[in-house]
């Protein structure tokens, strides 16, 4: 398996971004946007699948997570400038983009605002823009979280800090207990299996410095800073019917509103399980555009 190189990248506004890179140096980058909360950790299975296809896996910790300078008041769209700077540092003209959960909107922003750099985009269990029905079907913790986000940072931060305390040293069993209202059985099985260990580690890494989690939530409840109909690159939407974090109707909505999107609305899959065993299919479908 390829070695993961971690580095700190200085952005145009002087902020720094914690970045991890693996795979062939001359490979087309796959820019992967982590979930909320999350970090630059590269799951072993993802490294294996990308390297097998000659792709260079590039992950990062979003502004406000450990190692990445906070960007207070950021919109979802603001990530595009960070990714443009990152691609410049990597010396890459073109890339594939993917995002899981809270990374989905950020992947879509990158595709919409950097169409000349993005060959294709994959949204995996990603949420739709906030609006009527956004909370329908979400587990109780997510409903509370977004209702607090609508009230602003002062209302949201105590909720995040309470859950951070439960998650900052969590193993799989502790994480499942804390997220109980959000996990169907199919996701509980994944998170407590060997393949789920990296998903757990990614969330634990993402809560060490909680500002990115807070800023993501705030950004999701405001206008994203771009319109979905601005996406002109090939787009793929993956969502599971059993997802209680980002319910199935979010994927349906995205598939209807992203021009030309190809929908993979997977029966019986949850928020975490939807990507298990399917990443290879996702990459094979998108890589033809490179």
What b-and-e string marks burial along 93-102, b requiring 16 or more CB atoms within 10 Å of the CB? eebbbbbbbb
- CA 202 to CA 273: how far, in whole Å? 15
- Residue 204's CB is within 10 A of a number of other CB atoms, namely 21
Distance between CA atoms of 168 and 185, rounded to whole angstroms?
Answer: 23
- What tens digit of pLDDT does each residue of 91-111 get? 999 999 999 999 999 999 999
Contacts of 105 (CB under 8 A, 6+ apart): 76, 99, 126, 127, 129, 219, 220, 224
Residue whose token pair is 């060490």: 208
pLDDT digit string, tens, across residues 72-81: 999 999 999 9
Q: What is the CA radius of gyration of the chain?
A: 17
**Prediction pTM value:** 0.97
pLDDT of res. 1: 67
pLDDT of 276: 84
State how far Cα 103 lies from the chain centre: 2
pLDDT tens digits, one per residue of 129-155: 999 999 999 999 999 999 999 999 999
Fold of the domain spanning 5-287: Rossmann fold (3.40.50)
């Amino acid at each position: 398996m390829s070695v993961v190189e971690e580095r700190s990248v200085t952005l145009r506004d002087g902020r720094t971004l914690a970045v991890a890179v693996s795979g062939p140096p001359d490979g087309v980058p796959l820019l992967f946007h982590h979930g909320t909360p999350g970090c630059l950790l590269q799951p072993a299975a993802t490294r294996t699948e990308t390297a097998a296809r000659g792709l260079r896996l590039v992950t990062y910790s979003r502004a406000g997570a450990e190692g990445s300078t906070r960007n207070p008041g950021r919109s979802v769209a603001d990530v595009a400038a960070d990714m443009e700077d990152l691609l410049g540092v990597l010396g890459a003209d073109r890339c594939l983009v993917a995002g899981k959960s809270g990374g989905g909107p950020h992947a879509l922003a990158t595709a919409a605002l950097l169409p000349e750099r993005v060959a294709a985009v994959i949204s995996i269990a990603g949420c739709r823009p906030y609006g009527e029905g956004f909370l329908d079907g979400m587990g109780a913790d997510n409903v509370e979280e977004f209702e607090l986000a609508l009230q602003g940072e002062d209302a949201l931060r105590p909720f995040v800090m309470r859950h951070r305390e439960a998650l900052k040293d969590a193993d799989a069993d502790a994480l499942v207990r804390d997220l109980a209202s959000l996990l169907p059985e199919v996701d509980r099985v994944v998170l407590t299996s060997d393949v789920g260990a990296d998903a757990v580690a990614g969330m634990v890494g993402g809560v060490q410095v909680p500002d990115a989690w807070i800023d993501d939530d705030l950004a999701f409840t405001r206008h994203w800073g771009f319109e979905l109909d601005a996406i002109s690159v090939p787009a793929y939407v993956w969502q599971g019917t059993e997802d209680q974090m980002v319910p199935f109707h979010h994927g349906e909505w995205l598939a209807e509103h992203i021009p030309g999107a190809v929908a993979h609305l997977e029966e019986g899959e949850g928020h975490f399980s939807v990507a298990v065993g399917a990443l290879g299919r996702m990459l094979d479908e998108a890589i033809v555009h490179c």
